[in-house]
Amino acid sequence: MNNRVYIILISILAALSLFLGYMLYSTKKELTERIVYVDKENGTLIDERDGLQMELEQMQQTFAGMETDNAQMKDSIAWQAQRIGSLLQAARSKDFDIRKLRDETATLRKIMKGYIHDIDSLQRANDRLIVEKTNETNRANQAESQSKQLANELNSSQELVSKGSVLTAAGFSNRGIKEKSRGGEKEVERASQAEQIKSCFTIRQNTIVKGGTKKLYMRVEGPGGSLIGNAGSVNIDGAPMAYSAVREIDYQNQDTDVCIYCNAGGALSKGTYRISIFESGKKIGSSELVFSR
């Protein structure tokens, strides 16, 4: 073989060596890069798994702290909390599919946010109900207070009407009198001289009382409480009472002056005589007459 052939063979071998060296370098570099990628990927997977476990643990605490009066929601929260516990046990296993762990965690995260929103909405609604109940209670108490006030005012009005429907006797002038031999009468100061007790007074104007004929009863009690004169008996406040004298008047809702005479029925003694006037079963006025001798 001549030199030219050797040169060609050497050139071919050199080129083949360069080609094989390049292929070896490229393959080694690819394998190295692939190994690094796998390591990095494994590292990333390990970090994500730990992160998901931490998130699950936080969700577990959040679910444990959820409070609601809704029985159905309370049962559902308890079931989701058990589900998180089971998922945490599975996540601690390195063989558990990371994609399934990721999906399950995302689902639980969504459910947890929904529960938080619902509980918050229920709490706001409950707060509104409490405020409305308080307002209703206040309104009810106010209405009850107004009702009691109206009832009191009505009772007061009825009491005033009841009191106003009774006549009133006032402006008393009492004296002992004796008939004159030639007719008429004269006032006496001694009790022993008095043949009658005369009581004059005014029936006051009252527009509530129905006008017309009125019977006025006078009762006179002596110093010892004994009745002076006895003209009959009448019911006063539901009980019978003996009276000393009676007189009918025509009352037309205006001040009306009246005098009533009571026979002494014997010699009177000094002291205080109590005079009371009654009409329609009620006491309408009283006064006293004092004989000093």
φ/ψ (deg, to 5) at 135: -65, -40
Condensed to tens digits (0 to 9), the pLDDT of residues 107-153 reads 877 877 777 777 767 767 777 878 888 888 888 788 788 777 776 76
Is there a single domain that holds both residue 69 and residue 174?
no
Is residue 124 situated within a structural domain? Answer: no
pLDDT by residue (tens digit) across 148-202? Answer: 777 676 565 555 455 557 899 999 999 999 988 787 899 998 998 999 999 999 9
Distances (CA, A) of 93 to 76, 87, 187: 26, 10, 129
Q: Supply the pLDDT for residue 277.
A: 96
pLDDT confidence of residue 39: 40
Residue 155 lies in a domain: no
Give the Cα separation of 111 and 105 in Å (integer): 10
Q: Is 39 part of any domain? A: yes
Are residues 37 and 89 in contact, defined by beta-carbon separation less than 8 angstroms? no
Instruction: Give the residue numbers spanning the domain of 272.
Output: 169-291
Judgement on whether residues 189 and 109 belong to the same structural domain of the protein? no
**Per-residue model confidence (pLDDT) at position 29:** 55
In a domain, 130, yes or no: no
- How far is it, in rounded angstroms, from Cα 187 to Cα 177? 4
Q: How many domains are contained in the chain?
A: 2
Say whether both 180 and 267 belong to one domain: yes
Q: Do 84 and 195 have their domain in common? A: no
Q: Is 2 helix (H, G, I), strand (E, B) or coil?
A: coil
Of the three residues 118, 135, 160, the one that is the final residue of a domain is 118
Contacts with 13 (C-beta within 8 Å, 6 or more apart), sequence order: none
Q: 199 and 90: one domain?
A: no
Shared-domain flag, residues 90 and 201: no
End of a domain among 58, 87, 118? 118
Same domain, 114 and 173: no
Q: Token pair 């022993």 is at which residue?
A: 192
What is the value of pTM for the model shown? 0.48
Q: Give me the residues paired with residue 227 across strands.
A: 221
- DSSP one-letter code for 193: G
